[in-house]
Amino acid sequence: MAHSAIYETVEKILENENKGKLLDVPAGHGALAVKLKNLGFDVFCCDLYPELFSLDEFEIKGGNLDAKLPYEDEFFDKVVCIEGLEHIENPANAIREFARILKKNGDLIVSVPNIMNIEERLKWLFSGYTSHFKPLSAEALNEIRESIKNGYAGMDEVALHVNPIGYSEVRFLLEKSGFEVEKTYLDKPKKNSLLFLPIVWTIRLASRFSSANKRKSRWTDELNSDEVLLGGNTLIFKAKKI
């Protein structure tokens, strides 16, 4: 249920990793689970709405990212959470749960909409909201619910982006729960990012007037990296439980 470019990036991240037990949550219809199984992982699936899952060859459990997941401590070698955190009320709980169910040195792959790329920063400046997190007015909610009534009726969480969580928030929550961010990835470059290069260069030049210590403490260089500032619609983190 995510864009294919996100799945392709996740495949590239994991294709040369050691195989083992992997949790795909939220699993949706199962498209990513198939790709991960083909890479050699022992894939388990979990979703708030397991009735959406359409594959018989995988275990699927009902689970809420805002609550305790139905798995034992340190059960998985890897957890993949694509298109999940922005749909829930409490991303901090989800990340704590990922830490609980992952083995030591286990890997977490998690994605969020990239609200910090240059296009979204400018959109926020001029409109007060970003592309992925428009106001959930009564009119907007009615429109969304009308669009999902065939197949997803009553499943607002599938369609609603309720938590605009960016690079800084995700990294803070990961580190707070005992993870170390190894690398960030984009789903695919945005074609119109080149149009904003003069603004990007200005932002980066202005940041050089801050001391190295201040840039380090504010994650300035990371926030102005190609993956974040010039990145695509989705930001993907690879983090290790330490």
Q: Give yes or no for residue 3 having a pLDDT over 90.
A: no
What is the average per-residue pLDDT within 142-167?
A: 90
List of domains in the chain = 4-241 (3.40.50.150)
The confidence band for 1, taking pLDDT boundaries of 50, 70 and 90, is: low
Tell me, yes or no, if the pTM score tops 0.85.
yes
| Distant-in-sequence contacts of 127-136, Cβ < 8 A, 24+ apart | 130/164, 131/233, 132/86, 132/161, 132/164, 132/233, 133/86, 133/161, 133/164, 136/160, 136/162
The CA distance from 82 to 103, in Å, is 20
- Kindly report the number of other CB atoms within 10 A of residue 7's CB atom: 18
SS (H, E, C) 155-192: CHHHHCCCCCCCHHHHHHHHHHCCEEEEEEEECCCCHH
The CA distance from 103 to 49, in Å, is 26
Radius of gyration of the chain (CA): 18
How high is the mean pLDDT of the chain? 95
Taking a C-beta distance cutoff of 8 angstroms, is the pair 22, 36 a contact?
yes
Q: Give yes or no for residue 211 having a pLDDT over 70.
A: yes
| Residue range 76-89, pLDDT digits in tens | 999 999 999 999 99
Taking a C-beta distance cutoff of 8 angstroms, is the pair 46, 62 a contact?
yes
Element (H, E) at 197: helix 197-207
| Residue range 27-70, pLDDT digits in tens | 999 999 999 999 999 999 999 999 999 999 999 999 999 999 99
What is the average per-residue pLDDT within 81-110?
A: 97
Q: What pLDDT does 194 receive?
A: 83
In a 10 Å sphere around its CB, with 0-12 CB exposed, 13-18 middle and 19+ buried, how is residue 107 labelled? buried
Strand spans (E) along the chain: 21-24, 42-47, 59-62, 76-81, 102-113, 179-186, 234-241
The CA distance from 217 to 72, in Å, is 36
Torsion of CA 81, 64, 77, 21, to 10 degrees: -100
Closest CA to 69 of 52, 89, 53, 93: 93
Share of the chain above pLDDT 90, in %: 88
Q: What pLDDT does 110 receive?
A: 98
Six-digit token string for 14: 């994991």
The CA distance from 84 to 65, in Å, is 8
